[in-house]
Structure 1
Amino acid sequence: MNPLARFGSAGRDAALFLTLACFWGTSFVAIEVGLPYFPPMLFAAIRYAAAGAIILGYAAVSADRLLPRGRDEFLSVAIAGGLIIAAYHALLYLGQMHVPGAVSSVVVSLSPVLTAVFAAIVLDESLDRFGVLGFLLGIAGVVVVADPDPANLLSADILGIGLIFLGCVTFAFGAVIGRPLRVSLPTESMQAWAMLLGAVILFGASFARGESVASVEWTVPAVASLAYLTLVSGVVAFLIYFTLLDRVGATEVNLIGYLEPVVASTVSWAILDHAISGQTLVGFLAVFAGFALVKRDAFRARLGLGDSPSPSTSSHGYDAD
């Protein structure tokens, strides 16, 4: 018997939501734990090669179609694999070589705001003065977290946050330009092929940077980090994500991004003794306020205070974990 059945549908959804937030929030800490033992590109490549292979196997037995067909589906896989998996994670892992996972998770929480802005620019979706204010609040939040020093703009912290921010830009741009494509490939199959393509690109980038498998230190923390990122934050978390996407929709699932910094900060403090600063907390609150302004119509609709908004993401949405 499903252990969540006795809580009813709303209780199951809430339990899945919190579980997914925990799995994806702790992924930032797991990356931080593993990076001292892996070259960054190779670390990301191995993670997504393994996770993609497992999800492809799951799709083979659960989805009604495994292979993409037609121009739009192949293009969708290319966009997701190239931008959302490869480019985003390359920049994320490089950035996390300079900043803690908790700080990284705060910067990444800007992704939904950037996605709304790109949708307004690329797809001509509406972004009124409140949306613009939300975007500016989100950017201000990241600036507060970065705390730039004009005398030292090339410091490690600013470099790391800048790389992660650029990763968020590539993630948001990829999420938007793929929306107009007509895709009927099941989400599991799409995610699997995107992960595998992204892994191939990351392996290529790793080779170009001169990274070597021989440089990996196969310590207990290294193996534990890779296993957690692959199996828990990767495979299990994405299976939960598929379920929630079908049950509650993309707007609610996007809110997971605002629990992830809370989880990342708590776990980082408990495991690595990294306390999040008050300044970082202020920056996170600014980013969340920006998201609330950008998505205020969706929130009002969910609370029964307005009309239901048109969908802003496709069924093949991704989260910036």
Structure 2
Amino acid sequence: MRKPSLKLAYFLAVMNATIIGFSFLMTKVAIDRAHPLDTLAFRFALSFAAMSVPAAFGWVKLNYRGKPVGRLLLLSALYPLGFFTLQAYGLRYATSAEGGILYAFTPAMTTILASLILKERTSSLQKLSIFLSAFGVVFIFAMKDGGVAWSNMTGIALLLLTCIAFAGYGVFARSLSKQFNPAEVTYLILGVGFVSFLAASLVRHATSGTLERFAAPLADPSFLLSILFLGVLATLSSALTANYLLSKMEASKASVFNNLATVVSVAAGAMFLGEKVTAYHVIGSALIIAGVIGTHRLGTKPSGSASLPIRHDRRNLSG
């Protein structure tokens, strides 16, 4: 019988995939109405403020004393700075569907980096399961004529770099999970994102003489709704969840759950938008789910220092 902490991790992983399933669309909505840097500034201002309130009241316990904060600051260069900058600009030149397809390759990249850096071991069947899950995502988008348009090479290149940035973050965050609890990692990277993206946005407006237009997008209800979703759910909640998962399971296993976002988007479209579910939706979703299950069920027990130990302490997301 699996311990409660690992059961919670699986539940949160599925919940996180649900949020990611809507994030590409919401990001596309936001950057269609505002510059990518403005979008990121508002997004991280909201997420950092949302976490600062419970931190100020002591509801979230943070303690950085005597810990390798410098390594955590370097980690933030990959996520959020690298990942979100590349994603925002990539989606300016590519579609949200293309973003979903390319994001599916993140688990494969994570597996490669985790094996090289963390010495995490994955069996041949696990590797096959990870690629099976990625293929399921590609299959769905390709069959509905939403495949990658290779003429959008700038957007495609940037979105591929987001995969590398997020894979690197997953691996290095996993290595820091013994020194920091999930809330400490999340709060610091959100703070770095807030300061960096706000400064970059203000500098851009100042140099172009458009400071008075900085807050203009907030008057658009669609932009405001997308920022609320992206700031609170797709940034704050997702970051907390991701960091919690990385403290409970190997980076390669945590990453593969993200491909469930495609299954979520298909189901949501059918339930809320009346979109037709076809045979290729069912086949692709089955491949994704089979890949996720295979990654977690077909492995061998780690030995020696093959991977970081999975912690079964009683710390919650607040530390």
Whether TM-score is above 0.5 comes out as: yes
1:307 pairs with one of 297, 301, 311: 301
Match of residue 121 from structure 1: 116
Within a 5 Å distance, the mapping from 1:74-89 to structure 2 comes to: 74-79=70-75, 81-89=76-84
> Once the 2 structures are TM-superposed, how far is the Cα of residue 13 of structure 1 from its aligned partner?
7.5
> Once the 2 structures are TM-superposed, how far is the Cα of residue 192 of structure 1 from its aligned partner?
1.0
> Once the 2 structures are TM-superposed, how far is the Cα of residue 111 of structure 1 from its aligned partner?
1.7
| Distance in 1 separating the partners of 2:267 and 2:277 | 9
Task: Identify unmatched segments of 5+ residues in structure 2.
Answer: 143-147, 312-319
> Once the 2 structures are TM-superposed, how far is the Cα of residue 63 of structure 1 from its aligned partner?
3.7
Q: 1:200/1:281 Cα in 2 relative to 1: closer, same or farther (>3 Å)?
A: farther
Within a 5 Å distance, the mapping from 1:179-218 to structure 2 comes to: 179-181=174-176, 183-206=178-201, 207=203, 214=213, 216-217=216-217, 218=219
Contact 1:102 1:268 in 2 (8 A): no
> Once the 2 structures are TM-superposed, how far is the Cα of residue 84 of structure 1 from its aligned partner?
1.4
Pair 1:67-2:64 in alignment: yes
Pair 1:91-2:89 in alignment: no
Match of residue 40 from structure 1: 36
Number of paired residues? 292
> Once the 2 structures are TM-superposed, how far is the Cα of residue 107 of structure 1 from its aligned partner?
2.1
> Once the 2 structures are TM-superposed, how far is the Cα of residue 19 of structure 1 from its aligned partner?
3.9
Pair 1:106-2:101 in alignment: yes
Pair 1:223-2:224 in alignment: yes
Root-mean-square deviation (CA), in Å? 4.5
| Distance in 1 separating the partners of 2:94 and 2:274 | 14
Identical pairs, percent: 18
Q: 1:82/1:227 Cα in 2 relative to 1: closer, same or farther (>3 Å)?
A: same
Contact 2:13 2:257 in 1 (8 A): yes
Task: Identify unmatched segments of 5+ residues in structure 1.
Answer: 1-7, 316-321
1:24 pairs with one of 20, 23, 26: 20
**SS across alignment from 2:185:** helix
CA shift digits 1:83-119 (9 cap, x unpaired): 1111001111112223333432332232222111012
Q: 1:164/1:144 Cα in 2 relative to 1: closer, same or farther (>3 Å)?
A: farther
**SS across alignment from 2:101:** helix
Q: Counterpart amino acid of 1:250? A: M
| TM-score of the superposed pair, with normalisation by structure 2 | 0.68
